[in-house]
Amino acid sequence: MFEEGILDIEGIVEFKPDIACVEDIQRVHFCCPDEQSVVTQSHLISAGGAMKIGKEVLEKNIERGFALVRPPGHHAMRVVHGARGFCNVNIEAMMIEYLRQTYGVGRVAIVDTDCHHGDGTQDIYWHDPDTLFISMHQDGRTLYPGSGFPSEYGGPTAAGTTINLPLPPQTCEEGFLYVLENAILPILEEFKPELIVNSAGQDNHYSDPITDMQFCAHGYAELTSRLKPHIAVLEGGYSIEGALPYVNLGIILAMAGLDYSGIREPDYDPRRLRQAPEITRLIRGIVDEALQIWKKGPGIRENNRRKGKLFQRDRQVFYDTDQIVESQQEQIRACPDCSGLLTIDSQTDGGRRIFAVHIPRKACKQCREAGYKTYDSTDLRGYNRMFLQDRSSDRYFSRK
């Protein structure tokens, strides 16, 4: 792209990445055994690149920005024992929490258009009603990580702020744009985010070797033009020559408000990329279900907060890259005044065990005090490390 002279176009500028620090990781993650064991310099540069773009947008030096960075991040969950789905830390979440801490950003919408479900980003914001996470991806019954179904709609105090749109294999441009116009944009209009972030995975492309979708570069540009994200962050995409140069160029032109009508892959054949009527029918049903979940969310949240009971979630997380199996027990008490105090007991099949306490950004006094009390009073015996993540005061502690 740069060899073709894109930086010669007026209004398009390039920035060098910042380098993220340990505190930027601690705002988002519990890293086991520690941050230095989980990340490399490349991860700090990738996250720092996203943070730099966010900074330039928030300081109004640019209207919109695209972080063309790797390694990606949307499979990295709140607890990190290693790498999964090529992700060690969640670069979008690190950027968002940096922007919240530095510029006071409140409501954020993340629209993940990677072909794989953004299960890590979903996990991090599962209990955050101020962060809307929408993932449009290939059906998890047919692709890693095997999640992202409509029934996954958020935690007890954030129900409805996670929206999953699992699309059938062979979905074409028609289907992606239908979902955007009939589900994503109406929900964004009602949520009214201060910031829209696009996790811009490019592996929905028809030439991608590990997925089964039929999207094209022009379709990506059209989606970006209609979505109008303030920030896009590169995620997956593995057709290095057949897709990425064309898709990246289309996204950049669309974000800059320039003509992208001439974007075409050399082997693009619209006759081969026609969507079957059965796929169209399925997609319409998926959109209808998503809208119903969105409408029911506020009532579910209010009912759970009024009851104030303790909710528990038990699950296993597989780290496909590092071949780790994590068993996790998560507890949160629904609070009438904030999103609630969260605790996590996590153990790997290798024997490493941690206990973590998360105090939310808008924690009430009672939950904040309970968080410190839980951290101080929990017996360290049986655990390799304990964590306290206090987002309300941007303070982070650990003991071992």
Question: For residue 45, what is the enclosing H or E element?
Answer: helix 41-58
Catalytic residue among 29, 74, 75, 358: 75
Active site (annotated) includes residue 218: no
- Please give the full DSSP string across 157-171, using - where no structure is assigned: TSTTSEEEEEEPTT-
Q: Give the span between the Cα atoms of 85 and 75, in whole angstroms.
A: 6
SS3 call for 348: strand
Question: Could you give the CA distance from residue 305 to residue 334 in angstroms, rounded to a whole number?
Answer: 5
49, 18 in Cβ contact below 8 A?
yes
- Identify whether the C-beta of residue 28 lies closer than 8 Å to the C-beta of residue 90: yes
Residues 127, 155: contact at Cβ < 8 Å?
Answer: yes
User: In a 3-state reduction of DSSP, which class is residue 33?
Assistant: coil
Specify whether the CB–CB gap between 398 and 387 falls below 8 A. Answer: yes
Rg of the chain over CA atoms, in angstroms? 21
According to DSSP, the β-strands at 79-80 and 30-31 are parallel
Which three-class secondary structure state does DSSP give residue 81?
coil
Q: Please, where are the H alpha helices in 134-201?
A: 173-179, 185-191
Angle at which helices 91-103 and 41-58 cross, to 10°: 40
Can you read off the two tokens belonging to residue 122?
């979903």
The catalytic site residues sit at 75
